[in-house]
Amino acid sequence: MIISQYPGLGDIDTITDNFEQAGYICTRRIATVVYLAAALNKPILVEGPPGVGKTELAKTCASVVARPLVRLQCYEGLDEAKALYEWKYGKQLLYTQVLKQQLAEILSGAVGLRDSMQRLHEFGDVFYSPEFLEPRPLLRALEQPDGAVLLIDEVDKADFEFESLLLEVLSDFQVSIPEIGTIEAKSKPIVFLTSNDTRDLSDALKRRCLHLHIPFPSLELERQIVTQRVPNASATLTDQLVRFVHAVRELDLKKAPAISESIDWAKALLLLHADQLDTHLVHDTLNVLLKYEEDVATAEGSLHKLLGPAVR
């Protein structure tokens, strides 16, 4: 058995229990992959439709292992200055000012150009040194002394070039800075990458990750999740709601409701003091579940057909 530096990820059953206590119900599949990631020190690439709990998985993992969560949200145009590191230009400018004043002191008594250069060399160059480095999320995650959970969210939104930038961090847990050299992780972080499948990721990136596809949950699992997240909702309501949502997912929609929508809807219904579904209630609150006007219209068109089996 490999002893991971992260507590609470020792074996698959422990992971399932710990995550459940932290409010995340994970399938055997998810627990297995998290276990492997911790044991093999490999990043996890989490894919699946929006709202099935990809980001939540990373957050829960951070709370289970009690390490800081470092999050990098990807978007088009994200570059190394925002993801890896940046120089503290202001401080560097100040440094040159200070240096100028000190220059006379350093060079006093030097005879000739050669001697002056020699003194300058001896002085040492701190202009490009870790003190002037402003760490961005990726570097910050590597610098955590006890490790961290690094979440690279929606990596498919970033540019193609950014993926190449990630490769070094993901496979060797190190960052190369031309002026300084290679900075290695103090302690290897647990890395989650999430993707919504808006485009195919490069093979190089895929190769470095463990793959985890989270689909929409089964009826039973979703009932558990909603109960866990909205414990005050009555069992009847939860049951009916989950059945209804599952029926809605069968429709031809622009965006099928995910778990997060189910939970939101359950919360909304709870606020309205509902303890079971009826046509009126659903009609009034359907916009919590469905985010497009067309989808709402589609669902309303077949409301009776959907609601019948759910309420049964």
Binding site for another protein (CB under 8 A): 2, 12, 28-29, 32-33, 35-36, 39-40, 42, 44, 159-161, 199-200, 203, 206-207, 210-213
Smallest distance from the beta carbon of 237 to another protein, in angstroms? 33
Q: Which is nearer to another protein, 29 or 255 (CB)?
A: 29
CB half-sphere exposure, 34, CA atoms < 13 A: 31
Which two three-digit tokens encode residue 108?
């006093």
The torsion defined by the Cα of 295, 299, 301 and 303, in degrees rounded to 10, comes to -170
Q: Which is nearer to another protein, 39 or 110 (CB)?
A: 39
Q: At what angle do helices 219-229 and 235-250 cross, to 10 degrees?
A: 130
Give the Å distances, CA to CA, from 17 to 13, 180, 197, 201: 6, 44, 30, 32
Q: What length is written for the chain?
A: 312
Element containing residue 195 per DSSP (H, E): strand 190-195
Q: Which is nearer to another protein, 131 or 161 (CB)?
A: 161
Q: Which is nearer to another protein, 31 or 69 (CB)?
A: 31
Smallest distance from the beta carbon of 218 to another protein, in angstroms? 15
Smallest distance from the beta carbon of 298 to another protein, in angstroms? 16
d(CA 161, CA 203) in angstroms, rounded, equals 13
Smallest distance from the beta carbon of 69 to another protein, in angstroms? 22
Based on its alpha-carbon atoms, the radius of gyration of the chain, rounded to whole angstroms, reads 26
Q: Which is nearer to another protein, 91 or 199 (CB)?
A: 199
Which two three-digit tokens encode residue 46?
């989490």
